[in-house]
Amino acid sequence: MAHQAHAYHMVDPSPWPLTGAIAALLMTSGLAIWFHFHSTTLMTLGLILLLLTMYQWWRDIIREGTFQGHHTPPVQKGLRYGMILFITSEVFFFLGFFWAFYHSSLAPTPELGGCWPPTGITPLDPFEVPLLNTAVLLASGVTVTWAHHSIMEGERKQAIQSLALTILLGFYFTALQAMEYYEAPFTIADGVYGSTFFVATGFHGLHVIIGSTFLAVCLLRQIQYHFTSEHHFGFEAAAWYWHFVDVVWLFLYVSIYWWGS
Amino acid sequence: MAMSPTAVVVRRALAAASQGSHEGGARTWKILSFVLALPGVSVCMANAYMKMQAHSHDPPEFVPYPHLRIRTKPWPWGDGNHSLFHNAHTNALPTGYEGPHH
């Protein structure tokens, strides 16, 4: 029987990178087809393929790590670097939208009335629901830290409770934002104010949904005994991502909701 | 930067909880969750609710500003004239508010 004489993970051939790339192609071209020819078939196909890819690829990673023992310390170190680099790329992604916001709001053009918020725009009161949203996300940062310590101390029940609470807070944030989007007196079509507001907060909301889903997967895994007190990188990655989402919100709140009103 | 005694105590507890031994760290964060985080959320919920009640319910008067309600290209849904989260009560169309209420 052949052994590997090193601690690294030589991954078996997998179809998921290819299906993921095909999904990306179908979603992007599908979006263009939808915009110009009013058919959603291609885009829907791409979306289904994306969901299947994500489910199967991450399922395989869980099998390789949790059940087959391939995630040795050096492999885990590589995963840590990977997650950190990914979150860094996301920071730059949001940096672009903040750039757009400050570009437009620091020197408002005459077409907008030479002021920010532009003439005719009623901004949301930052001390109503936006402040509540801030409290919700900060609280979820505390509960996810409680969850982490619980996992490290082998406190199974507390880990499940705190993780569930974190996810509930995430859902509450999403529900509040959806309500705010519906009740807002301005829309995405209201000039550069609407564009910067809804694109920046919209992508943030998408990341909240992604983060909540990641945490929910961790909850399922915790319930199924995947994590040990020494080895639970999937959870750590989810917690890092969640803190990142929280920090982006704080910047959004201070810049767009508060200063921008 | 902590000024109040509470903030100093919290900071010391947080420092202890983050140290290598991790003894009792879960308990500290559990206490913080139920004593600080969740009550903070409740206070903000009450505040937001009371402020919302104090609002006037009428949307601002419609002025057909050319820099707002832009329609360079129709949306690919419905009649192409309504945003995704369109609210007939608070969002006017380029021609004004819809419906009999305005």
Average pLDDT value over all residues in chain A: 97
Selecting from B33, B38, B48 the residue whose C-beta is nearest the C-beta of A131 gives B48
Binary contact (A188, B52; C-beta < 8 A): no
pLDDT of residue B102: 55
Read off the pLDDT band of A3 (50, 70, 90). confident
| A69-128 per-position pLDDT tens digit | 999 999 999 999 999 999 999 999 999 999 999 999 999 999 999 999 999 999 999 999
Interface test with A, best of B18, B35, B44, B89 (most A CBs within 10 A): B44
| A116-175 per-position pLDDT tens digit | 999 999 999 999 999 999 999 999 999 999 999 999 999 999 999 999 999 999 999 999
Is the per-residue pLDDT at A230 higher than 80?
A: yes
Cis before A117 (ω within 30): yes
Q: Where are the domains of chain A?
A: 1-69, 71-256
User: B93 φ, ψ to 5°?
Assistant: -85, 170
CATH number of A1-69: 1.10.287.70
DSSP string of A38-83?
Answer: ---HHHHHHHHHHHHHHHHHHHHHHIIIIIT----HHHHHHHHHHH
Structure tokens belonging to residue A183? 């009740």
Interface test with A, best of B22, B29, B81 (most A CBs within 10 A): B29
Distances (CA, A) of A178 to A122, B1, B61: 18, 36, 25
Binary contact (A132, B45; C-beta < 8 A): yes
Instruction: Compute the distance between CA of residue A14 and CA of residue A11 in angstroms, rounded to an integer.
Output: 8
pLDDT of residue B20: 46
From chain A, pick out residues whose CB is under 8 angstroms from the CB of B16. Answer: none
Is the per-residue pLDDT at A211 higher than 90?
A: yes
Binary contact (A128, B63; C-beta < 8 A): no
- Pick among 3.40.190.10, 1.20.120.80, 3.40.1160.10, 2.40.37.10: CATH of A71-256: 1.20.120.80
Report which DSSP code applies to B86.
-
Is the per-residue pLDDT at A6 higher than 90?
A: yes
Q: What is the mean pLDDT of residues B69-89?
A: 95
A129, A220 in Cβ contact below 8 A?
no
| B49-73 per-position pLDDT tens digit | 999 998 878 888 999 999 999 999 9
| A27-63 per-position pLDDT tens digit | 999 999 999 999 999 999 999 999 999 999 999 999 9
Upper half-sphere CA count for residue A60 (Cβ side, 13 Å): 12
Contacts 24+ apart (CB under 8 A), A156-162: A156/A222, A158/B26, A158/B30, A159/A222, A159/A227, A160/A219, A160/A222, A160/A223, A162/B29, A162/B30, A162/B33
Is pLDDT larger for residue A118 or for residue B16? A118
Q: pLDDT over 70 for what percent of chain B?
A: 75
pLDDT of residue B6: 53
Given CA atoms A71, A77, A82, A84 in this order, what sign does their dihedral have?
positive
Going by C-alpha positions, the residue among A103, A117, A259 that lies closest to residue A186 is A117
Is the per-residue pLDDT at A256 higher than 90?
A: yes
Given CA atoms B92, A94, A233, A17 in this order, what sign does their dihedral have?
positive
DSSP string of A194-234?
Answer: HHHHHHHHHHHHHHHHHHHHHHHHHHHHHHTT---SS--HH
Read off the pLDDT band of B83 (50, 70, 90). very high
Structure tokens belonging to residue A41? 């078939």
Is the per-residue pLDDT at B9 higher than 70?
A: no
* Angle, helices A129-152/B38-53, rounded to nearest 10 degrees: 170
Distances (CA, A) of A225 to A160, A221, B23, B27, B46: 11, 6, 22, 21, 39
